[in-house]
Structure 1
Amino acid sequence: MNRRFPLNTTGDPHSNPSTQIYLHSIISLLTLPSTTPSPPPGPLENLGMQDMYPAYLQATHFTPLQVIQGLLPLLRTFPARARDAAANNTPKKSVIFCLPATDARVGLPFAGAQAMSAAATLRGAEVLRREIRLAALMDETQAMKHIKVVTVDVGSFGVTTSQVEKSLAPEHAMIDWTVSEKAAYGDAFASALAGQMHHTSRRTPTDVSKFVRTVVDVVSGGRTAPRHNIEAVDFVLGRIRELIHGNRVVVGAGGAPCICPDIYRELI
């Protein structure tokens, strides 16, 4: 990415650092539920390991990580930019993984594909965070020092009741089950889906604007638009908000409210 184009240009083949692409944050939304066909709810025994699950894993786990792999070199700063960032107290660059809260934290019965994909991506984010921190301690150029990795556990946002009821119809989900699977899991499956639909209908979805504000908050390091006469005030407030958020942020209906473990982890 630092080569000059066209490649046959005379002189230095590398472009000036000041003219190169500047990337401040990578936000992964591919890890959230979307229009991508996902395996229907059912027991792990019935999960299609040859067709449905590999395709779902490719869309929600492999592809997001491949994109982040390709963009990570652009997050590494040159020594001059690293010194400027430290001197000006600019917010850290960030890699943000947005994950479905329930699948990433718990893993509900009969939703194995979603839970396993979210858990694998979450563990990848944790490994990347530790690798960047360790590299920042050893790297004399400080290229990795101002990068943070944050996971955002995303709850419910405006899912209509009709969509939920359609997706949770037990008779529709058990069409491809064997007779033995229906006998073994049928009653438990219907009970689990009925309970899930009951809790979903009672839960008030959060407005999507709150999700947007939360992500912007993480990217900006908790700093708001300049509203104070003293810049140090905004910096201190931003650091406090960033400390409260920690490395794992929860937003949306159904997300776990506890953030204390992340605060303690930051202080240790």
Structure 2
Amino acid sequence: MTDPHKGKLIGASLGPGDPGLITRRAWEALQGPAHWAYPVRRQGDDSYALDIVRRAGLDLPAAHTPLVFPMTHDTEILARYWLQAAHTVHEIVSAGRDVIFLVEGDASTYSTFGHLARTVRALDAAIEVETIAGVPSCHAAAARLGQPLVEGDETLAILPAGYGVDTVERLLPEFDTLVLLKVKPLLDDLIDMLERRGLVAHCRFLEKVGTPQERVVRDIASLKGAKVNYLSLLLVKNPQRPRAAVQRGCRKKTAGVPA
């Protein structure tokens, strides 16, 4: 049960970079008196999420706090920083003030907000948590390209490329579209695999979609050996995959009634 005397934690999804994709609900929350919190990799660093809000024309309020979430896969280090951030948030909401945490993309999709919210609730189950939905990067990328992610009964998989090239290749026959996130460390290996599978022409690379630094590359083979940003993805279409209707088998006709 939540405590009405305490503030709440709000995860405000801002979309992947274009301030125009901030939802009305998130915009309203940003106009309120809540204390702003936003992620940084280390103290003194810029915040990508905060930059989206600033480009929307909003000034940083006097009540704001950067929360450090380092770029590491070490779960012990991450847990320590999540706990530190959660204690900071808990102190503010316990004093009766809402905290709005700025989230690039969507707060429920591969977001730091989920870890923060769980840790805050572990400290105090009476804290209310609200998640404001937003536009994920893969949807913005498809819109930027002017192509659908999937249509009809097509299938879609979204996964971090860090699962490995073997995993991606194993999934190719199962899905019509794959969205590969955080491709930076494996990009050359992914391109090699996609070339071998004859799929390079059906792939698109997008980086920082919706920002002034946006990059769209339709010839992904040209990226071999190139440096790319952490905030990048590959959209992989697989026209070689048998259509789902074919895989299920043809429907039978019964008593002259068309299938």
* TM-score class normalised by the smaller sequence: under 0.3
Q: Normalized per residue, which structure has more strand? A: 2
Q: So what's the TM-score if we normalise by structure 2?
A: 0.28
Q: Which has the larger radius of gyration?
A: 1
Q: So what's the TM-score if we normalise by structure 1?
A: 0.27
Q: Normalized per residue, which structure has more helix? A: 1
